[in-house]
Amino acid sequence: MSKVTRLPYAPISGKLHTDIEKDIPIPDQRGINSSKWKTLHSTWEVGDSVCVDSESNRSSLMVYMKKQGTTTTSRRVLTQHGEVTGQYRVWKTGEE
């Protein structure tokens, strides 16, 4: 018969708060109404594009638009000699 080794665990300190509360409204998603992309979403049309200065902003813009039901596509901006500039152009391609 094998012997079971138990690891030492710290005791749980404090008391869990288990009171059930009713009629507490669920808040809106954080950041959706305060997004820096909100104005852009309300003004641009299919075929319009914007140039953003980083991969992070490209990703942020595309995620926001997807959550709003807008489809987009993007490409890296290159110089005339094919060098990467670090900028991205994002186009609005439609509404879902």
Give the DSSP per-residue string, 21-68: --S-PPPPPTTTTT-TTHHHHHH--TT-EEEESSHHHHHHHHHHHHHT
Q: Which amino acid is at 68?
A: Q
pLDDT at res. 58: 95
Rounded Cα distance between 94 and 96, Å, is 7
Q: What is the largest CA-CA distance in the chain?
A: 75
Q: Per-residue pLDDT tens for 24-36?
A: 887 766 655 557 8
* 4 is a domain residue: no
Report which of residues 1 and 60 the model is more confident about: 60
pTM of the predicted protein model? 0.64
pLDDT category, 74, cuts 50, 70, 90?
A: very high
Mean local confidence (pLDDT), 35-41:
86
> How many folded domains does the chain comprise?
1
- Does residue 72 form part of some domain? yes
**Assigned domain for 14 exists:** no
Which domain range does residue 72 map to? 38-95
